[in-house]
Amino acid sequence: MADVNVEPDEHVQIIRINRPAVRNALNASVALGIAAAIDDANASSEIRVSVITGDADAFSSGTDLKALVEGETTEIEGRGLCGIGCSPPSRGGRSAPASNCCSAVT
């Protein structure tokens, strides 16, 4: 089972954190999954907004402390938490804002 599921719905991309056993705590796998989904949205002419939500009973309990102690990070270099701060640098070397993105607390 993937830690992040991506569900396109017309012009909306649903990014669902799927770690219900740890209340959707963020680890490196989640961070990379969210960043990849944001990259896909940025490259798409169809996706206009991405919504990040959690599976089961929680949006996210925050950083997975066990993973943090083991040296994992949820930061994507140059892009912040889970890569949602900025998109990768363009050819001009400047980062652009990530695609339209919001969180849905369930």
Domain that holds residue 98: 4-104
- 91: confidence class by pLDDT, cuts 50, 70, 90: low
Q: How many domains does the chain have?
A: 1
pLDDT value of position 9: 87
CB atoms within 10 A of CB 50: 25
Whats the size of the chain, residue-wise? 106
pLDDT value of position 105: 55
SS (H, E, C) the chain: CCCEEEEEECCEEEEEECCHHHCCCECHHHHHHHHHHHHHHHHCCCCCEEEEEECCCCCCCCECHHHHHCCCCCEECCCEECCCCECCCCCCCCCCECCCEEEECC
The larger pLDDT score, comparing residue 91 to residue 69, is at: 69
pLDDT value of position 67: 95
CATH at 73? 3.90.226.10
